[in-house]
Structure 1
Amino acid sequence: MKDWDDRIDEVWTAAAGGMVDDEVISRIDEIAAERGPGDARAEFERAGARDSAGRPDEAVPLYRRALELGLDEEHRPQAVIQLASSLRNLGEYEEALRVIAEEQDGHPDSPYRDALAGMHALALASAGQPERGLSVALLALVPHMPRYHRSMTAYAHAIAGDDT
């Protein structure tokens, strides 16, 4: 018999490229129920299914619950990014930015830092701060550039109106 993670992965693989609908949510919920309501990973998967189905209002409380229960280092940053995305989609930009800032401050060396920066840039743009969003995106790209670190960093700060 396949383990829990494999069965969750199968559902997501089958849904890839298609619309996540009530059937996908039901399949995820069925597998998640095996772990019970006090399992962070199960709540994370349930949230992701609703999020992918375009139901951010249903996903947000599940992401919050998963984070409260305590996710591992692989799934916590994913939950934060997805929670911030859902909050952004609901127009709750300040809350999205708060969640992002907490993750960035608490885990500056996370392997998900660039993905978090991307969500940060989107949330800033949606919140009416596109220049700051562009700055965040540029600063996330700088370490990946073979040259121009100093100039791109300076441009990014100048665009955002930073004095630093």
Structure 2
Amino acid sequence: MTAADWQDAVDAVWADAEALGDSEVIRRIDALAAELPAGDPRGPFEAAGARDAAGLEREAEAGYRRALELGLAGRARVEALIQLASTLRNLGRPSESLVLLDEAAAEPHELGDAVTAFRALALIDLGRERRASAELMAALVPHLPQYRRSLAAYAAALGGDASSA
């Protein structure tokens, strides 16, 4: 099976995830992960995602960490950082979540708004709601057809420079 065929098979499982249910998604993803060489980071990444989607955050954490240790790269690395950060926040560790999200933000990708959204959740858990609002507003500003300047100013007033923690 080529790498593209393998990814297509994984994508097909995720496309049917709602109909399959958590246990079957985990079973199918684990079977696909087992087809990869032991040191391939895609296996633990996908297995972690299946467990994360099923609400098994502690199991997901280990898989995400393993995938990152094995050198997961590119967009998948950024996704793993975001997903691990979300998992850590759900496990009551929002400060650790922010560290990973800052790492994700430093890498080139098109998931900046997702990073911002997950940062906001972690900031709220840390009692920093104004900062979370400021970052969300700052991320929203480029998408607006008008009022950009005034809303950027309001975002700055809410949380100082919303581009930093």
Q: Check whether TM > 0.5.
A: yes
Q: Which residue does 2:80 correspond to in 1?
A: 79
Q: Which residue does 2:140 correspond to in 1?
A: 141
Q: Deviations over 1:46-81 (max 9, x none)?
A: 010000000111101111111222223221111111
Pairwise CA RMSD of aligned residues?
Answer: 1.9
1:19–1:123 CA distance, 2 compared to 1 (3 A): farther
Q: Which residue does 1:32 correspond to in 2?
A: 33
8 A Cα contact 2:75 2:109, kept in partner: no
1:163–1:47 CA distance, 2 compared to 1 (3 A): closer
Q: Which residue does 1:88 correspond to in 2?
A: 89
Q: Which residue does 2:17 correspond to in 1?
A: 15
Secondary structure of 2:96's counterpart equals helix
- Per-residue deviation at 1:89? 0.5
8 A Cα contact 2:29 2:47, kept in partner: yes
1:20–1:78 CA distance, 2 compared to 1 (3 A): farther
Aligned amino acid, residue 153 of structure 1: A
Partners of 2:94 and 2:130 in 1: CA distance = 15
Gaps of 5+ in 1: none
Paired residues, number: 160
Q: Which residue does 2:155 correspond to in 1?
A: 156
Secondary structure of 1:97's counterpart equals helix
1:45 aligns with 2:43: no
Gaps of 5+ in 2: none
Partners of 1:50 and 1:64 in 2: CA distance = 13
Q: Give the TM-score of the pair, scaled to structure 2.
A: 0.88
Aligned amino acid, residue 115 of structure 1: A
Secondary structure of 1:132's counterpart equals helix
Q: Deviations over 1:113-151 (max 9, x none)?
A: 111111111111122111111111111111111222221
8 A Cα contact 1:4 1:31, kept in partner: yes
1:101 aligns with 2:102: yes
Partners of 2:128 and 2:33 in 1: CA distance = 38
8 A Cα contact 2:60 2:87, kept in partner: yes
